[in-house]
Copies of this chain bind each other. A is one copy, B any other.
């Protein structure tokens, strides 16, 4: 059986030329624990964008049906040296129907079922996926299950990470994102304190509507004071940031330290002893992270990524997390979409420019057969 279909590839050449194009591909038969999935829906997540478009100049790119060619400016091109010349697939996750399986019992059991999967080449009409990473969707639609992995498991991963560090509260610097909304629901369900930072009144209203008790708007006067007050209320000296560049982490550390210092009875030139911990899990801002010397030495900042976390968490924890996602797919973990595009449509100037903007509540869904 030779299965052929369309798949997206992204190639960055050494001179900074980025070519993203749909090609016809022959998919191999699945072996062992693999399944072959006819893909029905795949989201465009912020974590997909780095490899899909990165810092490319989309305004001056050339667009033809099923293809665009753009230039990636320096220093971003040199920073991507490791991928120069490689033709890479894209799309972390999606959902579709299993049409063939390898020899393993787990793989064979999925044939004919609709599943959520994490193939890494989800912008494609077919994917080879690992059965152990598939989630059988039952009666759910492909759209219900398309985003069942990256954001749900990341949000649950934050809670697992915080609990492992014996924290019962956390701060999130982009509260109103799709992931932020899931985190808000999870923390509410689990009784974990959560400080949500947003940029707009509409985002604050949205989170308040989800029951978030500590929403702080960075565009308002008195933001810093409100942030300190929310940290003091919740005890959130621990947080997660998808922005990466600029002062997002710095602001969080500053506020945490101000709260800690306000409780000190004696001056210390070294700042408070309150441990402060932040994780950067994304790069919405690709500029450098700026850390000012304003919070002593009692702080730790780490990168955080889903796959290394899952590896270290172990099978039992991961299975428990996945069960929770499946049981609450259209409630706690629901993902709304702004637009549906097929593989050709996702490479038009209008579409690429729009989804690269990563605006809150404007996620794209790729439906490769539409």
Contact = CB atoms under 8 A, between A and B. Distances in A.
A207 to B, nearest CB: 26
Contacts of A294: 79
A291 B289 contact: yes
A245 interface: yes
Interface residues of A, number: 40
A131 B292 CA distance: 37
Contacts of A244: 293
B300 A280 contact: no
B51 A269 contact: yes
Given A270-B305, A300-B300, A286 B293 contact: yes
Contacts of A208: none
Given A299-B303, A300-B300, A86 B293 contact: no
Interface in A261-309: 261, 264, 267, 269-270, 273, 280-281, 283, 286-294, 296-305, 307-308
A329 interface: no
A133 interface: no
Contacts of A297: 280-281, 303-305, 308
B300 A301 contact: yes
Contacts of A82: 261, 264, 267
B291 A298 contact: no
A303 B270 CA distance: 11
A150 interface: no
A106 interface: no
B269 A83 contact: yes
Contact of A288 (B270, B283, B291): B291
Nearest to A300: B302
A291 B302 CA distance: 11
Copies of this chain present in the complex amount to: 2
Interface in A130-162: none
A103 to B, nearest CB: 25
A273 B292 CA distance: 28
A28 B290 CA distance: 46
A299 B298 contact: no
Contacts of A302: 299-301
A224 interface: no
Nearest to A308: B273
Interface in A64-113: 79, 82-83, 86, 88
Given A290-B289, A293-B283, A298-B305, A267 B86 contact: yes
10 contacts: A82-B267, A245-B293, A280-B297, A288-B290, A289-B290, A289-B291, A289-B292, A296-B303, A297-B308, A299-B303
Given A51-B269, A300-B301, 14 more contacts: A50-B269, A83-B269, A245-B293, A250-B288, A270-B307, A288-B292, A289-B290, A289-B291, A289-B293, A291-B291, A296-B303, A298-B308, A299-B302, A300-B302
